[in-house]
Amino acid sequence: MSLRARIAAPADAAAPNRDDSLVATYRAKLLEEIDLAEMSSLTASDRRVRLERVLNHIISREGPVLSSSERAHLVRRVVDEALGLGVLEPLLADASITEIMVNGPESIFVERAGRVEQLPLRFASEDQLMQTIERIVSTVNRRVDESNPMVDARLPTGERVNVIIPPLALTGATLTIRRFPRAYTLPELIGLGSLDEHMLMLMAAFVRARFNIIVSGGTGSGKTTLLNALSGLLPAHERIITIEDSAELQLQQDHVIRLESRPPNVEGKGQITIRDLVRNSLRMRPDRIIVGEVRGGETLDMLQAMSTGHDGSLATVHANTAEDALTRLQTLGSMSEVQVPFEALRDQINSAVDVVVQLARHADGSRKVAEIVLLVSHGRQQFRIAPVTRFVPRPVGPDRVVHGYFEHLPLPRPVAERLYVAGEPVPPAYGVAEAIDVLNTREAIG
């Protein structure tokens, strides 16, 4: 969309409040005053400064009489709609917001600190909302219309965007923007109550001893945040390859190669899947492979990599429990075009996966490690897991805040021996079990 078209795009003539009418009026006046050739040569930040200066001059010259705060609000709205995403711009600038949900032009919700709240904001019309959506998808050479009513895209600043419009969305065009979580360190997660010092020592030992770790949890449970924190434990000299749908991980090591999948273009061609990237990464001499999320046939390739010389790899999967995570890996592995029997997939998982870290999002919005389990089955046995950490919640009080404590259980002796051989001490809170305690070992449906 040209600069002139973006600034002059009409607002709803029947906008029900004065602010919308003023925004439309001054957007038109702004278009008459500016030199488009000059504007096109400026950087994005200089362009915004220039538009704000011109608009302030117009308001001073022609009125109306506004207070300082009213003028600042009007200038921001006009410039946001001219160059940015309109009413969404202040929300994107608010670091406390982790998700923005637009359910039609008159309904905007956000998530802050794990809680969803509705805001007193609205788009002037359905057309204005569609204009904002088209502005987003056009930046990634995608289109959205009745023939292609669902789109996944990414903003230049990295936020993930999902769009679905009528006729599929009956309540109007729906826009969901997922903010990237900031990179928390493991000590910071301890301060937030997501884990404790003993669990930090244990997971650090697992990472340094090259255990293959699956981070499991539901949507918004903090999988990417924990995976990013765990990646900080990787040795600086190792060659690390990250593979993601949307590049979210922020590794601090020097030798990191970041790969990102690519959706098909407008003609439906050019798609590069996670599976394509996993296969290619095996030819890149990786010391560690980190997959942002396995959700299809790439699971089989990831399992084979974990069990054939790429120890110490990490991945995430959507699942509600650790047992479900293993079963889901088995199901996802069967989605490959290679027809592998379920029993053989179970063998692959038993050989490849060492640890499952299960995360949970609680009613008060807090995220915690629900349990850490070790996969102790072998060959084509049904999955047998030995929990070594559990979060035990206490009854919720009047403040509706979730409290509890982390319970630590002894490590099975084979795992302790593997840590010892790798030069990693067993954290004192976990001790060593002579044999796997039957009471603390569960079986999952295989």
The answer to whether residues 276 and 370 belong to one domain is yes
pLDDT band (50, 70, 90) for residue 81: low
Helix (H) or strand (E) holding 105: none
Alpha-carbon distance of 51 to 69, in angstroms, equals: 18
Per-residue pLDDT reduced to its tens digit, 373-388: 999 988 778 899 999 9
How high is the pLDDT of residue 17? Answer: 53
The answer to whether residues 161 and 260 belong to one domain is no
Average pLDDT of every residue of the chain: 82
pLDDT band (50, 70, 90) for residue 42: low
The answer to whether residues 140 and 74 belong to one domain is no
Bridge-based pairing state of the strands 240-244 and 288-291: parallel
Alpha-carbon distance of 33 to 332, in angstroms, equals: 58
Domain count along the chain: 3
* Whether pLDDT at 62 is above 60: yes
pLDDT band (50, 70, 90) for residue 41: low
| Residue 179 DSSP code | P
Residue 94 belongs to domain with CATH number: 3.30.450.90
The answer to whether residues 31 and 55 belong to one domain is yes
Residue at which a domain ends, from 52, 83, 114: 83
SS3 362: coil
Alpha-carbon distance of 108 to 94, in angstroms, equals: 15
Residue at which a domain ends, from 36, 58, 83: 83
The answer to whether residues 36 and 144 belong to one domain is no
- At a CB cut-off of 8 Å and minimum separation 6, what does 120 contact? none
| Residue 157 DSSP code | T
The answer to whether residues 340 and 192 belong to one domain is yes
Residue 385 belongs to domain with CATH number: 3.40.50.300
The answer to whether residues 165 and 308 belong to one domain is no
The answer to whether residues 122 and 71 belong to one domain is no
The pair phi, psi for residue 366, each rounded to 5°, is: -75, 150
SS3 417: helix
The answer to whether residues 198 and 297 belong to one domain is yes
Per-residue pLDDT reduced to its tens digit, 302-342: 998 888 888 999 999 999 999 999 999 999 988 877 788 88
How high is the pLDDT of residue 209? Answer: 94
- SS3 letters for 216-273? EECCCCCHHHHHHHHHCCCCCCCCEEEEECCCCCCCCCCCEEEEECECCCCCCCCCEC
Alpha-carbon distance of 106 to 411, in angstroms, equals: 54
> pTM of the full predicted structure?
0.77
- At a CB cut-off of 8 Å and minimum separation 6, what does 399 contact? none
State the residue range of the domain holding 326.
186-443
SS3 401: coil
* Whether pLDDT at 119 is above 80: yes
The answer to whether residues 94 and 234 belong to one domain is no
The answer to whether residues 345 and 200 belong to one domain is yes
Residue at which a domain ends, from 159, 179, 199: 179
Of residues 337 and 430, more confidence is placed in: 430
The answer to whether residues 115 and 74 belong to one domain is no
